[in-house]
Structure 1
């Protein structure tokens, strides 16, 4: 736990820099005071030093500078006019009162920064529980990725992903909860929890998708009881086995893209299916498709934060064309490169959470 005077912000200057700055400022003010004569009170300008430091430094630094300034003013008042004691005491008490107020403001700022720091640490811990840190290496594949919530002051949004190395192969989930930002976290957590259990328990990939469907239905029932809206989730569930054999169940999500070794981009033709939470509307069972992930190629999974990036004319970002232009980019760098292209296309405006996963056969 941080001490009361420990800086929680990288803005806080070091003690050496503070000492040098205060000494230089004091020397300049005293020189100006000497040049202007004893009738002026330029020395009182030193009271602004703690005020400036209170916005950046620690409480201990602010207290130290306040004591220094008070001492300098006290010595000056003892040596120069006003000669009467009440006036000297009044000046000194005014300086001390001002510095006390500055110290109180600094302490309040540090407490607030500490609260924000702890909240962010809690959010980081929550993100690590919800979303697995990337990259991930399993027996079947190397997985690289990027996750960026649309609300950039948060760490968690409406997109979700997970990877599980199971006896059935490496299973991968990518999805997008209806809505965006913090409001979608509850539904996303329900899906991730169900995936982490079903990925190991169920031998068939369609059964994994059915478990996710049941989780969304249960969460929606709870949401209705709590006065929250029901949500659906678009998702793709994959299982990658040795030799590049890929099995996939698509639940209304964007089609994966195969980036071949020769630079060709191929959208994998998967039956769209209905999003998780809406299967009861059709009554049709989930279907699984198989395709090959060639040696030297990569499989790219996206959410619509990439494909719905719009330029000034309203045109959507052509993700497949963007991938083709990025052919030859190392798999580890591809997620960031694709996101950068989409952001440049949209002029830096983000409409939705962004997730990019790149799956490369294990070497």
Structure 2
């Protein structure tokens, strides 16, 4: 368990203005009036303006003025202009500190409002996936490359439709709000078509048309669609996306590739043929991991990509969400710092109908 250093750091910063004034007062008394340390009393309200509220800054400023008067009288500085100059300096810094704290408080309030809006947008766009869907146990992980952001250009969804469990994981070209907007278009089209379209190809075509209407120029979305039925298999439709990872019961790993890779979503207007569905065995006791290239293209300090296929031991954890969290933590350790691209992972465990046992991995 990590050590929380936030409280000690906050306490140290809160005492810094008092400590600064105490040091200045002690040095001024010891050095005498000839050195001219008195204006440095303004360090108290200056530090307070950086870390405290406006009331505390005003209080520290008042204490600094009283201290300035006391030291000025002690040093005999009011017989000349130096004492009054020091008081003006302290008053000016206090006023500037109060103004700074008021502005900072307003910015913090605005940031809190923006964050709350972002959290609502996250719940609407990337709503929580169901923990169970038919015979599947589901877990998801999302790491945004943008500091303080909860969502970005990666997307995922799981829909239990009359035609089977349908899944999408995708990656929008670019970053920022434009990528989030495109992700919303893809997810909206997928959620609607997943219930209506009888086959996976028709579902993909519906999503393709929706994306083509919204995107301009050479923008695109890589994606993989999957359908898990009751026949012991999973059907994929791959739009230029990294191949999914299937972990077999004996611990072996497959990355099933399509016979021919198709263009990403949004580029279908170029007249090329769309992706062909391909089927892979997927039976109870096995796991399916869909992910974006932010996972496999994360580099360590030496420039090596993240070896996802060598990390299946992390998926031995019986709880699917904790297993995926272990992979995410290992990915962040591999990158040794913030990721340079969004990284989404969706883990599906096939337990079979009515089964709740853990997944055996050799």
Whole-Å Cα distance in 1 between the matches of residues 312 and 28 of structure 2?
A: 69
Superposition deviation, residue 347 in structure 1: 5.7
Pairing 1:254-265 to 2, within 5 Å after superposition: 254-265=242-253
Change (3 A) 1:73 1:48: same
Pairing 1:171-182 to 2, within 5 Å after superposition: 171-182=166-177
Change (3 A) 1:192 1:77: same
Shifted more, 90-99 versus 325-334: the winner is 325-334
Whole-Å Cα distance in 2 between the matches of residues 86 and 171 of structure 1?
A: 81
Q: Where does residue 349 of structure 2 map in the other structure?
A: 360
Superposition deviation, residue 134 in structure 1: 6.0
**Which secondary structure does the structure 1 equivalent of 2:316 belong to?**
coil
Whole-Å Cα distance in 2 between the matches of residues 151 and 21 of structure 1?
A: 33
Once superposed, what is the RMSD of the aligned Cα atoms? 3.6
Change (3 A) 1:38 1:277: closer
Q: Aligned match of 1:253 in 241, 262, 268? A: 241
Q: Does 1:276 align with 2:253?
A: no
**Which secondary structure does the structure 2 equivalent of 1:156 belong to?**
coil
**Which secondary structure does the structure 1 equivalent of 2:77 belong to?**
coil
Spell out, residue by residue over 1:217-251, the C-alpha distance to the aligned partner (whole angstroms, 9 max, x if none): 1113xx3xxxxx34222211223346865333222
Whole-Å Cα distance in 2 between the matches of residues 51 and 307 of structure 1?
A: 48
Shifted more, 162-171 versus 20-29: the winner is 20-29
Change (3 A) 1:97 1:299: same
Q: Where does residue 64 of structure 2 map in the other structure?
A: 69
Pairing 1:159-174 to 2, within 5 Å after superposition: 159-174=154-169
Q: Where does residue 106 of structure 1 map in the other structure?
A: 101
Spell out, residue by residue over 1:240-295, the C-alpha distance to the aligned partner (whole angstroms, 9 max, x if none): 34686533322232222111222111123444444222334456465444444332
Change (3 A) 1:310 1:33: closer
**Which secondary structure does the structure 2 equivalent of 1:55 belong to?**
helix
Whole-Å Cα distance in 1 between the matches of residues 45 and 203 of structure 2?
A: 62
Q: Is the contact made by 1:145 and 1:356 (CA closer than 8 Å) also made in structure 2? A: yes
Q: Where does residue 4 of structure 1 map in the other structure?
A: none
Whole-Å Cα distance in 1 between the matches of residues 242 and 32 of structure 2?
A: 77
Shifted more, 342-351 versus 121-130: the winner is 342-351
Whole-Å Cα distance in 2 between the matches of residues 78 and 313 of structure 1?
A: 64
Q: Aligned match of 1:191 in 175, 186, 193? A: 186
Q: Does 1:332 align with 2:327?
A: no
Superposition deviation, residue 192 in structure 1: 1.0
Pairing 1:308-323 to 2, within 5 Å after superposition: 308-310=297-299, 316-320=305-309, 322-323=310-311
**Which secondary structure does the structure 2 equivalent of 1:66 belong to?**
helix
Q: Does 1:92 align with 2:87?
A: yes
**Which runs of 5 or more structure 2 residues have no equivalent in the other structure?**
1-5, 357-362
Spell out, residue by residue over 1:305-352, the C-alpha distance to the aligned partner (whole angstroms, 9 max, x if none): 2233356776644432x2445452453244344445555556657453
**Which runs of 5 or more structure 1 residues have no equivalent in the other structure?**
1-8, 224-228
Shifted more, 297-306 versus 40-49: the winner is 40-49
Q: Does 1:307 align with 2:302?
A: no
